[in-house]
Structure 1
Amino acid sequence: MAATDLSHAHPLLQVSDLAKRYGEAEAQSTVFEQVSCEIAAGEFVAIVGNSGVGKSTFLNCLAGLDSWQQGQVLHQGVDLSTLNEAQRAIWRRAHLGFVFQAFHVLPHLDVTQNVALPLMLLGRMHDGGEQRVQQLLQAVGLQGLGPRLPQQLSGGQLQRVAIARALVHSPPLLLADEPTGNLDPSTAQQILDLLLAQTREQGTALVLVTHSGEAAKRADRVLRLTAVGMQTQETAAST
């Protein structure tokens, strides 16, 4: 697959000299620092790196779920560090889809309700929302499982609920933390197809953390996160 030419696209997301540290003063431990990158609308970027380097933490920073000690995260020119917690929550609701590695589905809601939650929060259930939910349940292979509660599902099925929920409101920014990690190869391929379709058809910027070489090969760019920055890594899609 040829890479999409986004060299002239205005960045949707800009990360400048980002540093994440834990602890106080001289006892601080650095997770990563000097991390800079830009992500364009409609671009699929894979983030790779050694275990423990902070890939999930980096995604949490991009989502405004975690704080950082240096640098900026700008979304369409808005500096997330200037927003308070309530403002960040409102921003996430409107602009972000997040596939968590630990799923974070709500145990008291059934599958349909979990997937529909972003639309409900945005007041969009009466604007084709129910049809959109059913379309996504079918797209991720969960048709007929809408009435089930999360405790009645397997890990792979929970992963697909999380993916459908992240996609349902067609967010301009989609962050995914190992979204195919609990899936068999065939289903993983199906999910990657769905994520890529969202990116191409709706101009969504997709940032995907992965250890899967197959997933990384499909990205427009592969960025390797290290403790001292972000490096571009060649991928089959760019050759």
Structure 2
Amino acid sequence: MGSEKVPVFAQVDLDVAPGEFVAIVGESGVGKSTLLNCLAGLDTPSAGSVQVLGTDLGALPEGPQAHFRRRHLGFVFQAFHVLPHLSVAQNVALPLMLLGVPRAQQLQRVAEELAAVGLGDLGERLPQQLSGGQLQRVALARALVHRPALILADEPTGNLDPDTAERVMQLLAAQTRQHGAACVMVTHSRAAAAHADRVLRLTATGMRPEPAHG
């Protein structure tokens, strides 16, 4: 009995449309980050499948799966994950560099995305010269610069004060919809979840809609 495997969660059925923003809430330890990892193809579910743009991520070999992830997914994390030795503009350009986008197009896309998140004049700065809110906007620009089909956000406001968190969430929601991307965010924050088109609660036995004032 001691070695019996217990599922983290089961019976999860999620369909997210282009331009739709879905927030997933739930108790600590229920597997919200694990669910995001499954959606990204970083973890493989023991049953079922994950399909993005009609492609079954679990069926792809490691190399093609990594390329698919780079091309079609964007990630925003609580801890920002910017590279300290690169400038703001270089951090944002990373997805385009990995995809082999021509340099001139990189520069144009990075400039457009930094302007969109309100950092148009900070491209040459290093991450240590920015505030937490600015760093999260860098991370958001980096997640969107290659026009992904799916954005995965893991507690994107967890390290931010309430006012800064509100500004970041407004940007995340607006940019997701503007680019026609699907966005799945896991969060403990009701204020962050309020920006989503749908809020779902993850439990060990599946997901259900979260009541607006529940």
The reply to whether TM is greater than 0.5 is: yes
Structure 2 distance, partners of 1:146, 1:73, is 36
AA partner of residue 205 (structure 2): V
- Between 125-134 and 209-218, the greater mean CA deviation after superposition: 125-134
- Between 189-198 and 134-143, the greater mean CA deviation after superposition: 134-143
The counterpart of 1:188, out of the listed 157, 162, 165, is 165
Matched position secondary structure for 1:124 = coil
- Between 28-37 and 48-57, the greater mean CA deviation after superposition: 28-37
Contact 1:105–1:150, Cα closer than 8 Å, also in 2: yes
Matched position secondary structure for 2:12 = strand
The counterpart of 1:57, out of the listed 34, 48, 60, is 34
- CA displacement, residues 62-119 of structure 1 (integer Å, 9 cap, x when unaligned): 0111222111111122111111221111001111111122322223322211111111
Structure 1 distance, partners of 2:22, 2:117, is 21
Match of 2:74 in 1: 97
RMSD: 2.2
Higher relative contact order (CA 8 A, sep 6+): 2
Matched position secondary structure for 1:71 = coil
Name stretches of at least 5 consecutive residues in structure 2 with no aligned partner.
Answer: none
Q: Percent same amino acid at aligned positions?
A: 65
Matched position secondary structure for 1:160 = helix
The counterpart of 2:174, out of the listed 161, 185, 197, is 197
Matched position secondary structure for 2:71 = helix
Contact 2:133–2:164, Cα closer than 8 Å, also in 1: no
AA partner of residue 59 (structure 2): T
Contact 2:9–2:30, Cα closer than 8 Å, also in 1: yes
TM-score normalized by the length of structure 2: 0.87
Matched position secondary structure for 1:47 = strand
- Between 108-117 and 150-159, the greater mean CA deviation after superposition: 150-159
Matched position secondary structure for 2:66 = helix
Cα 1:82–1:227 shift into 2, 3 Å: same
Match of 1:119 in 2: 96
The counterpart of 2:58, out of the listed 71, 74, 81, is 81
Matched position secondary structure for 2:138 = helix
Cα 1:77–1:131 shift into 2, 3 Å: closer
* Aligned residue-pair number: 212
Cα 1:115–1:218 shift into 2, 3 Å: same
Structure 2 distance, partners of 1:70, 1:78, is 16
Cα 1:102–1:89 shift into 2, 3 Å: same
Name stretches of at least 5 consecutive residues in structure 1 with no aligned partner.
Answer: 1-24
Cα 1:101–1:118 shift into 2, 3 Å: same
Q: Does 1:207 align with 2:214?
A: no
TM-score normalized by the length of structure 1: 0.79
Q: Whose strand proportion is higher, 1 or 2?
A: 1
